[in-house]
Chain A
Amino acid sequence: MKGRRGRPTQSRSMSRTFIILALLTALLLIYAAYAALVLAPTELTMGPVQRIFYYHAPSAWTAFLLFFINFIASVQYLVRPNESADRFAKWAAVAIGIIACIAAFVVPLPAGIEPSSVATTGIVITAAYFLIRRYFSEQGTDILALVTAEVGVVFCTIVLITGPLWARPVWGIWWTWDVRLTSTLVLWLIYVSYLMLRRFSTSGETPKLAAALAVFGALDMPLVYFSIWFFRTQHPQPVIGGGGSIDPRMLRVFAINCLAFTCYAGIICWFRYRIERMQRDVEETRALEALLEPRGAASGGAQ
């Protein structure tokens, strides 16, 4: 409320930052595409088709990152109004970080999972929780949740389209009900239903309903993963990845693409965030004007 007067100047400087960052991201994306198509060496067995990997895997990473932010923002939107719940969630976030750091080195992990990556994930969860808490208002966390879900679904769709395109020449099949493919598909389904709920809801408190659904979706994901993992280990499946060593140039190109896609998603989210914010401001102002209308025409909208 109080910042309304200062908004135009703030907004102008924000637009400049936005344009500069958008241009940088565009350059980075162009370089990343060039690196993926030209600089990276051609894979020995799969040939040029492997290059889709530089598009596929960074999209997956971006989608998961966005869904993760969506979850944290949704939790905050639910707990913020209630002081004790807020405090509890804050301590839970700290506890998750600490437990992940200790458990990673104490509990024996399945092969292929590094203890350091588990510890890092734990710290990232705690850090993300407090960063979002620090920089987003209650209304802001809702917009953040909406925006990350929308953009995340787009990136997840890219993953699900590029995957079969790659699988067809390499595996000889478009799709297999393997654990990673299937859980990504289920994740996509859950977030599409999330967006549908937001679209079809007539409630004045759609954000609350959507946040509850997002929390349910996040609770669901480990169960989805384990159930499909167990289901699939009983069935034959195509071999994914033949082991062997990776050319360091490939790894570098992959890292550049990951960075570029993350920046790209960040820019789109920011842009979408501003549009949504503006739209809500406009709606709020309209509602306020309707209330203050001197003639009694607007009395119906007051509720």
Chain B
Amino acid sequence: MALATGTPLGTITSQDEIYLEGAPNIYFQDATATPLNNPDVSTYYWGLSGTATYPVYQLSCYLDVSLGEDVTVNAVRCDTVGDKSAIQKRNYLELTLTLKTFFPLSVLRHVLNISAPATSLTDLEKVGIGKINNNRFYMVYLPKVYDEDTGDYVLIHLHRAQFVDAWSISMRSGENWDVSGIRLRGYADETKPANQLFGTIVRADPSAI
């Protein structure tokens, strides 16, 4: 409701009364693959399309999902007046979560930075814990349908991410195992246009846009 007094004059763009709840789905795919929209008609790069060589992986059960960023901020300080501005530089985006599901190992091995698995088709799955491969990058795709009736959704796509940091597996009595310390760091992808160097956000909502 507009205020009787004190409302600014001129063009005003206000926010929608739409509230998002809960974690998005989390998918990732080897960044060697090309995104589904590569690019789309508006020259944005986003979406995943799994192939036999580059399958899409989906995390199943997780909690404490949070997306943030790391930015270097240096003030432009003048002794006469104090800070006049700030120089900011985005370093990376970071998705953190705690994973509650473990299997199959062929998915978990990416999250834990462990070796390629070997599967004996009918009974065994094996992975080694060796050196970390620092040359593995992933596209990360986080869609969230916020209106189930109309299918309105928002998605976040990171172009070039890596699982970083040390994980920790909690094995408490009476509780299911969880893997904490999972950190997906989304770096700049220099093959993408400057305006979407780190990622893309897409919203689909025909009734509101």
> Do A and B interact?
no
- B residues sitting closer than 8 Å to A (CB atoms) are none
- A residues sitting closer than 8 Å to B (CB atoms) are none
